[in-house]
Chain A
Amino acid sequence: MAWNNKLKGRVWKFGTNVDTDQILPGYAMAAPEDKLKEYALAGSAIPDFAHKVQPGDIIVAGDNFGCGSSREQAPVALKEAGVALIIAKSLARIFRRNSINIGMPVLVADIADKIENGREIEVDLVTGEITLLPTGEKVKGQALAPNVLETLECGGLIAKVRRHLNPSNG
């Protein structure tokens, strides 16, 4: 998918401390990559998330989203299931970096209390501005750092490393 800094999607709300065991349970960790999406958030408060999510949907959560293990299967499962963006009040370090490294943007913003499940929002990843539809109310999120934007523009860390190691055919 080509890089696009402006996203529009439907919101799925989650609470605080949604850890990687809830996002991708331990029993599913060894599943092949193309099967991971079937387990997306299977251990969470919305266990049938994988069957309900539509491509382009946006997760909105409270503090510490993605805490726990380093399993990259967790963000991969969300991305493969169609999640286009995760907005959370705060994100755990490894999960945040894993998401960016696989080309799935994450944004820090405190909007969980402002919106309800299923609401549509528009997001500009460069400015960090979130527009709540249909009212047009605007909320400022943390703008992404230049190195994060570079990784996302490349489509992930592997493409970025390829470009750096071999600039001629990047």
Chain B
Amino acid sequence: MNSIEGYLAKAAGREKVHVGEDITVKVDLAIAHDVTGPMAVEQFRKIGINRVFDPHKVVFVIDHIIPAATIDAKIGQNTLKAFAREFGVKVYDRADGVIHQIIAEKHRLERGSILVGADSHTCTAGAYGALAIPVGATELAATMATGTLDLEVPETYEIRLEGRLQPGVYAKDVILHLIGRFGTNGFTDKAVIYTGSLVKHLSIDEKMTISNMGIEMGTMISYFADSNESIGEVKKVFTFQAEEIKACVACSPNPGNFAKAADVAGTKISQVVIGSCTNGRLSDMKIAAEVLKGRKAAKDVLLLIIPASKDIAQEMEDQGLTRIFREAGGVVTSPGCGPCFGAHMGLLAAEDVAVSTTNRNFPGRMGHREAKVFLASPRLAAESAVAGEIVSPGTVAPLGGV
């Protein structure tokens, strides 16, 4: 068995599991947010039991539409909070941050643990070795009742990342490169293990950026191997040399629509979003602040800065980053998902073009169906904000220390 199969077997209470087999695994943590959670708790109530499997192993985070932008959104949040009170479940309801960041900061699981989340980017937790499986509301309700999840043992693929990244190339470029290579359904229903010498040098923040977007290739599980882990046998190994990865973007209409930054340079933009569960962490903010220090966002660009958590927002203030962003003309918002999924805080009209460090750019994702969204690293986003058009890293500010 490989690492994924080994952990699944352990969670299923079995000695061995085989690819394709239907198994039932014990769940270590079940999570939901204000969009999926209200439906999950309604479904849970239909099951007709009076307790969740373990109140300490269920966490809700209100992150998508907080503060509520509509009455319906607030009704859903109230539903979630009432359930949390009644069943003794922890709920984060003060714009504490994006669910995946909160789980990493306050509820981080041990390697090999099973995390089930009613959000597709639950796979973010694979950065620290959790087997993080995204589900919908009904499946989460079932897990909240039983403490288990039914799944089929996936085929496992290894993505080996060797070498070091070039200046101006970041974890975001790595994952956009991979999605471009494998496509938006390249690993549907599969598990992916990341290994290689580059991985040893990546910070946890960088690993989270990469694992976060595993779902954009369809993965069931995205998992970073430990530094000396022997992962065992996999279906196939794909090797990439980090030096060959270029600064890039994903163009509309999907995250697999890869282009080198140089090939789209000069595209005029009207909004830049730096934040989200993909790239809203302190290290991302430092990269953006290095560029924006003493510079201004171009006059036709609305620059939105959205910390992924309250702790990150605090550090940004303590380290002077928030001031840098404001002086650059940026709008620093409360922690949360921001406009990433198109419900509030920065929607686009048909003629708008955005550079965003978020994870999706399907039609209508951030507003109008015809709006264009280029997914990119914080560095490329910050430099483009200053230039007023897409630029390659190093154009506005020199690479390697500003």
Contacts and interface: CB of A to CB of B under 8 A. Distances in A.
Interface of A: 17, 19-22, 25-27, 29-33, 43, 47, 63-64, 67-73, 75-76, 90-94, 97-98, 101-102, 145, 147, 156-158, 161-162, 164-166
Contacts of B239: none
A26 B341 contact: yes
B365 A157 contact: no
A17 B184 contact: yes
Interface residues of B, number: 53
Nearest to A74: B136
A101 B76 CA distance: 21
Contact of A22 (B139, B347, B362): B362
A21 B146 CA distance: 30
A64 B185 contact: yes
A68 to B, nearest CB: 6
Contacts of A90: 185, 188
B306 interface: no
A19 B118 CA distance: 17
6 contacts: A21-B360, A22-B362, A71-B136, A76-B39, A94-B135, A165-B49
The secondary-structure label for the interface of chain B is loop
B184 A157 contact: no
Interface string B106-118: 0000000000011
A168 B360 CA distance: 46
A72 B364 contact: no
Interface of B: 22, 34-36, 39, 42-43, 46-49, 64-65, 70, 72-73, 75-76, 117-120, 122, 134-139, 141-142, 145-146, 150, 184-185, 188-189, 215, 218, 220, 253-254, 341-343, 347, 360, 362-365, 369
A156 B138 contact: yes
Contacts of B49: 165
A93 B218 contact: yes
User: Would you list the 4 A-B pairs with minimal beta carbon distance, nearest first?
Assistant: A26-B342, A98-B136, A72-B136, A43-B364
Contact of B188 (A29, A73, A92): A92
A98 B139 contact: yes
Contacts of B189: 93
Contacts of B365: 21, 26
Given A19-B362, A30-B76, A43-B363, A165 B146 contact: yes
Given A21-B360, A26-B364, A30-B70, A70 B342 contact: no
A160 B184 CA distance: 32
B135 A21 contact: no
Contacts of B47: 158, 161-162, 165
Nearest to A26: B342
B138 A102 contact: yes
Contacts of B185: 17, 63-64, 67, 90, 92
A70 B120 contact: yes
Nearest to A145: B22
Contact of A21 (B72, B139, B150, B364): B364
B36 A161 contact: no
